[in-house]
Amino acid sequence: MGRKLHYGMVGGGPGAFIGDAHRRSINLDGMAELVAGCFSRSYEGTLETGKALGIAPDRLYRTFEEMAAAESKREDGIDFAVVVTPNHAHYAACKAFLEAGIHVSCDKPLCVNSEQALELERLAREKGLLFLVTYTYMGHVTAKHAREIIKRGDIGTVRTVAAEYPQGWLAHEGEWGGKQGSWRCDPKQSGDTNCLGDIGTHIENTVAMMTGLKIRRVLAKMDKVVPGRLLDDNDFVLVEYENGATGMYWSSQIAIGHDNSLRVRIYGDGGSIQWFQEEPEKITVVKKDGSLTEHHRGYGSIAPAAAKYARLPSGHPEGWIEAMANLYRSFIECIRAKEAGTFAEDMVDFPTVSDGADGVRFIEACLKSTRNGNTWVEL
Ligand SMILES: NC(=O)c1ccc[n+]([C@@H]2O[C@H](COP(=O)([O-])OP(=O)(O)OC[C@H]3O[C@@H](n4cnc5c(N)ncnc54)[C@H](O)[C@@H]3O)[C@@H](O)[C@H]2O)c1
């Protein structure tokens, strides 16, 4: 066991969703401790959350700029910052910590345009800092297994992908959604997209990381179905990858009956896989001879590079929190290795700032395609 790292959080204040999930995930392995925060836009909110979490009052900050400056000067300052605000604030917060020489974890989408993404990529590279973008789903053991078996050729060359991420929680204005729904539908806080940036971007990342395929161009139809909505809530995207394979992505927040139904089907010339995030303990593999196998987490059929992340034996279900924790496990191991001078690029087993930038370019191309009247747009 290495040194316990220290981290600070921006966002995750009273009533927030994902900040609390990050804290629980990081706690799972006891490799890092929360010691500082600017948890809310309001200082009262930061004080409330800080008190509830037992953070020393002198490490509760009014702004993330103040936090980055103060923490970088302390002997016992934070090793990494976790940015879990609504999308519009990601860029400035990440930039402040990178400039202060602090590693960063930021939730998706990385930021709201590709100029910002390039700048964050550049800063992380030039400063030699690690940058995790928490696309949660690639943390699942079975998602990593999918990547491994595709890499080793179990389904042959990938020819086509069909992936969907339907949710129903924003099917009607004002009925559900609460605090989380209101900022997602507000261009000032969400950027130029709601649904595609929120969950379509998870499809893009999950498929990219499982297959290793790079997108060449997209044709998108991003619709605002609920009357009065300013941003998209139902999106169809046709995809062409650089190797000539094709894909079809559907993301929706108006699909009543679905909770969080990310499903990925990948078809090669030797077989196919199906992975469903609501049942992440297994993955289905079909070979071209018609034989169907379910690979279950916890068994010897799981590739070692994925199996090493399992915490529990088979039949003792792991889920979303464990997936997020697995991203942090690799991120924290890499920070420790940097400190020890043993870091190597092939240790990185989490989505990075470059993957986040790919996500932002995907979103921009889809927006352009939609504005052009649903034409093909190169990335
Ligand atoms: N990885 C995933 O699966 C996943 C799931 C949900 C949300 N997200 C992402 O997480 C981010 C947050 O989403 P959420 O649903 O938790 O939102 P939320 O509204 O529940 O929480 C946002 C928090 O950020 C705080 N905040 C806003 N601006 C701030 C600032 N300038 N300084 C400090 N705090 C500030 C708010 O006060 C609030 O506490 C979004 O980017 C979203 O896309 C990712």
How many angstroms does the Cα of residue 179 sit away from the middle of ligand 1?
Answer: 10
Query: How close is the Cα of 307 to the center of ligand 1, in Å?
Result: 31
- Ligand 1 atom at minimum distance from 13 CA: 39
pLDDT of residue 103: 98
C-alpha distances out from residue 48 to 25, 45, 145, Å: 21, 5, 41
Q: Does domain 5-129 have CATH number 3.40.50.720?
A: yes
Nearest atom in ligand 1 to 179's CA? 19
According to the model, what pLDDT value does residue 313 have? Answer: 96
Tell me, what's the pLDDT at 178? 79
pLDDT at residue number 1: 66
Give the alpha-carbon dihedral of 108, 49, 27, 135, to 10 degrees: -10
The answer to whether the 5-129 and 140-313+358-378 domains have the same CATH topology is no
Q: What is the pLDDT of residue 175?
A: 60
Q: How far is the CA of 40 from the centre of ligand 1 (A)?
A: 9
What confidence score (pLDDT) does residue 2 get?
Answer: 79
CB 112 within 8 A of CB 94: no
Q: Which of 332, 356, 280 is nearest to 26 (CA)?
A: 332
Residue nearest to atom 22 of ligand 1 (CA): 85
CA 246 / ligand 1 centre spacing (Å):
33
The domain ranges of the chain are: 5-129, 140-313+358-378
Return the CATH superfamily for domain 140-313+358-378.
Dihydrodipicolinate Reductase; domain 2 (3.30.360.10)
Quick: pLDDT tens for 245-301: 999 999 999 999 999 999 999 999 999 999 999 999 999 999 999 999 999 999 999
- The single-letter DSSP state of residue 60 is B
Identify the three-state secondary structure at position 266. Answer: strand
CA distance 33 to 50: 13
The CA-to-CA distance between both ends of the chain, in Å, stands at 43
The 10s digit of each residue's pLDDT in 40-50 is 999 999 999 99
Q: Find the Cα–Cα–Cα–Cα dihedral 34, 40, 45, 51, rounded to 10°.
A: 10
What φ, ψ does residue 185 adopt, rounded to 5°? -95, 5
pLDDT along the chain (379 residues), means of 10: 92 96 97 98 98 98 98 97 96 98 98 97 98 98 98 98 97 77 89 95 98 98 95 97 97 97 98 98 97 97 97 96 98 97 97 98 98 97
**pTM (two decimals):** 0.96
Three-state secondary structure call for residue 259: coil
Residue 239 β-bridge partners: 218, 247
Kindly report the protein residue whose alpha carbon is nearest to atom 5 of ligand 1.
18
Q: Do the bridges between strand 103-106 and strand 131-133 make them parallel or antiparallel, or are there none, so unpaired? A: parallel
User: Which atom, in ligand 1's list, is nearest to the CA of 85?
Assistant: 24
